[in-house]
Structure 1
């Protein structure tokens, strides 16, 4: 009875649980939603976000260095062997020329002190607080650049999935055509209206279509994996893509790209260098501040005791206090030209960054010009390939009709099929190229 009951419970549990198909509700993403998801979950973006948080904490670390610093110190010593000093014996009534060993101190000693210090003037501290804020801005710039790169990668992966699915759909349709042709041709051959050569040729086309379909299916799986990885999503998750390929391509086809109003200084790569230039200027100022004096104030209060009692906190053990307050001045006098040499080095680094900015400005203009030309070429190539695939499809469809009517040969059919598949492959490649060219152009404009 126990085993029967256990079996019944297991069967009931299996049938009462929802199936995997019922519990799985794949999340659907448009391109914009996929990019936003990546900005919140991408490993790269999270890394730059951590860097930004560290930079913000470093600002307070720098500021806190100029606020009052309080330290407490305490020690407890057990003098296992008290130090011995030799004094002339004649001090104690002994013979001249001899010495008497005397122990100074007691076995146990302890001290405690509290010290407070405050910077009054430090040129490096002033520059450091400014530099910490510039470092935060640099971290923000790097985070923004990483986000742009992630949006670019996600868009390309998203496009690849859509193109792969479109390619799969076409090959699947062609496979169905070949399957139907093979069935019909075999029937004609069995009744003596076709040659065996025609049957073999169609079967060869069918096998090629099966291989192409398998490759296309794997391409979808691979591109989906890449998309989920770039989004920062678990690879095992199931997702759906909401955008249709046509809805993404048509706006690009109808729009004319423009270069008016472009400002290279607004591009993130240029702004990063501007921030680096500000940081380098502060480095120079910090080196110049090494010529200035440092002034600080301090106060120290302490107590100490020395006794033969192990417990130094007994009420009858005397503690002796001490306190001091003062100012400390450090003035650099002579460094044999070391400080001046460091300032000159940093000024050269400053000019190097200025040179990088000029080069980056020209490089950004070059990239914009190239991406503009690539986009125009991609638009033209897409239109040509779109028309070519339509023509190749019409030729292929007519050849199928002629083949069924016995007017065309299987060889001609195979050639026109290959012509259509080649035209479709060119169309698929040009579609992906058009989408990626638009992304590259927007990125060069600094509008991604």
Structure 2
């Protein structure tokens, strides 16, 4: 039995250890997968969806005004002193008390609008407000996709930059070892050894900073995705892999700004203001409502709970309201709504011109960065070749350490410039998609 328990405990420990190992594995994701997770779990998107529900409930609240409103009421009144009247009867004045000790009154009242143009137009405005909330939710998703793209590209840049710094660090360590061995054989001075060792120490902070940058980019991406910060995320590509599909922006590509979220929101707002003008005009139209009343009345003396006899009575009626004069408030309210409608026309014109300019500038930047990538790639190849030549010359003693360090610095700078050019291109494409309203249906 003890042997069985020992084996069971060992198996449990092995299973627990395997779960920890699985949990420690990084989550390898593509950019599209990160966007999909963010659109599902990010709190900003869920808040935007709740706003849509809120306006839907608001519309239903307005619709409820078209249905009959039914209320029940009950009232009890106890007379402390009955009303006394004096009457002249046969030449003599007599005092008479009128009323009863107890008065019960209860019943139902119902009312509904029959002709209410302002209410009908309010329902139409509620429909547009729902559309506006949907567009606001779409704008939030577009911003989120753009932020996810930039965070993902920043993570790619941080990882690749760290690899470049790590390669530079490994080369510096290798050269320091070479000088240490040469010092042992008497072919190098102590100064050369110290200089190469100092170079290693100088690169270590850069390597540490690169590692911190990777963790910060991972944290930013996880926050945008709405996932736990304990999960490690790794991209499934590198910046160099993405460079293969980078070209100048084609002149025949779609540059329409009709899907721009700001422009669509402004168009929706214009429709709302146009209907608001109609709503102001309908303030002059008469309204008609119907009402119904069913009540029970009981009058008695003595105890309020005895000898009660409730007598029903009911009424039905129509109420017509015709606006005649309101001091000009309706007129000036209409003028105010018309001015707001003209203002939004000018705002739309200005927005269209601004968006077209931003699109042209974004496309120019993309074309410039595509050419920059080609130039940086060629410079990187030349820097690598020059470094290889200098490294071989240094190994045979035909080049100094200073010459080698210059080639290493040029090689590192060329690689980082190449990665930065790719990153700039990707970010510019994401910003252009945001301007054109692409990425979210």
User: Does the TM-score normalized on the shorter chain lie above 0.5?
Assistant: yes
Instruction: Give the 5 Å matches for 1:195-274.
Output: 195-253=189-247, 256-258=249-251, 260-274=253-267
SS in 1 for 2:314: strand
Quote how far apart the aligned CAs of 1:311 are. 6.5
1:263-285, Cα deviation, whole Å (9 max, x unpaired): 33343322211111110011111
CA distance in 1, matches of 2:412, 2:237: 25
Instruction: Give the 5 Å matches for 1:282-431.
Output: 282-307=275-300, 312=305, 316-431=307-422
Give the direction of change, closer, same or farther, for the CA distance of 1:102–1:171 in structure 2 (3 Å limit).
same
SS in 2 for 1:376: helix
SS in 1 for 2:109: strand
Quote how far apart the aligned CAs of 1:123 are. 1.2
CA distance in 2, matches of 1:279, 1:148: 23
Is 2:72 the partner of 1:72? yes
Unaligned runs of 5+ in 2: none
Q: Which residue of 2 aligns with 1:118?
A: 112
Quote how far apart the aligned CAs of 1:26 are. 4.5
Q: Which moved more, 1:412-421 or 1:373-382?
A: 412-421
CA distance in 2, matches of 1:323, 1:421: 94
Quote how far apart the aligned CAs of 1:17 are. 2.3
SS in 2 for 1:395: helix
Between the two proteins, the alignment pairs up a number of residues equal to: 434
Quote how far apart the aligned CAs of 1:246 are. 3.0
SS in 1 for 2:284: coil
1:325-374, Cα deviation, whole Å (9 max, x unpaired): 10011111012222111111111100111111111111111011000011
Question: Cα RMSD (Å) of the superposition?
Answer: 2.8
Q: Which moved more, 1:316-325 or 1:263-272?
A: 263-272
Give the direction of change, closer, same or farther, for the CA distance of 1:272–1:183 in structure 2 (3 Å limit).
same
CA distance in 1, matches of 2:419, 2:293: 79
CA distance in 1, matches of 2:372, 2:390: 26
8 Å Cα contact 2:111-2:291 kept in structure 1: yes
Is 2:129 the partner of 1:129? no
Quote how far apart the aligned CAs of 1:83 are. 4.1
Q: Which residue of 2 aligns with 1:433?
A: 424
8 Å Cα contact 2:118-2:283 kept in structure 1: yes
Is 2:17 the partner of 1:18? yes
SS in 2 for 1:324: strand
1:170 to 164, 171, 177: 164
Quote how far apart the aligned CAs of 1:404 are. 2.2
Q: Which moved more, 1:133-142 or 1:424-433?
A: 424-433
Give the direction of change, closer, same or farther, for the CA distance of 1:18–1:432 in structure 2 (3 Å limit).
same
Q: Which residue of 2 aligns with 1:39?
A: 39
TM-score after normalising by structure 1: 0.88
Give the direction of change, closer, same or farther, for the CA distance of 1:12–1:243 in structure 2 (3 Å limit).
closer
CA distance in 2, matches of 1:130, 1:362: 31
CA distance in 1, matches of 2:21, 2:8: 23
Q: Which residue of 2 aligns with 1:3?
A: none
SS in 1 for 2:17: coil
SS in 2 for 1:265: coil
Give the direction of change, closer, same or farther, for the CA distance of 1:197–1:114 in structure 2 (3 Å limit).
same
Quote how far apart the aligned CAs of 1:443 are. 2.6
SS in 2 for 1:258: coil
8 Å Cα contact 2:239-2:423 kept in structure 1: no
